Amino acid sequence: MTRADWAGVCDDYRTAAGLFWPIPITLSVDAPTAESIRISDSIALTDPETDEPLATMRVIEKYTIDKPANARRCSTPPMPSTPACMVMQQPEVNLAGP
């Protein structure tokens, strides 16, 4: 999700284009990894258990989010295994692209 889609879903359950979407879905990476990826790079999305390539993504945007604010939007309180808890545990930079 782009930052605009993420914000729309968090605020109104709708993407920037107006499509109903109840929970933001993001691809998060740590800051050093994000720094090594340039806008327009194609990256491989792999199975975390087998490292088998599943898809590719062309990065069009990198952004950070206010994790505590996003967690509050997802559920209260952030209990283990809830979307809020998962938000707090994800790395700090989101990548977006087709």
Residue-wise pLDDT tens digits, 19-43: 999 888 889 999 999 999 999 999 9
Q: Which domains does the chain have, with CATH numbers?
A: 26-96 (3.10.400.10)
Which pLDDT score, from 0 to 100, does residue 50 have?
96
Contacts (Cβ under 8 Å, ≥6 apart) of 33:
91, 93
Which pLDDT score, from 0 to 100, does residue 76 have?
53
Sign of CA dihedral 52, 55, 61, 64: negative
Residue-wise pLDDT tens digits, 41-95: 999 999 999 999 999 999 999 999 877 776 666 555 555 566 666 777 789 999 9
Considering only CA atoms, which of 43, 34, 42 is closest in space to residue 65? 34
In Å, how far are 2, 3, 5, 16, 37 from 25, measured between CA atoms? Answer: 10, 11, 10, 14, 20
Which pLDDT score, from 0 to 100, does residue 67 have?
75
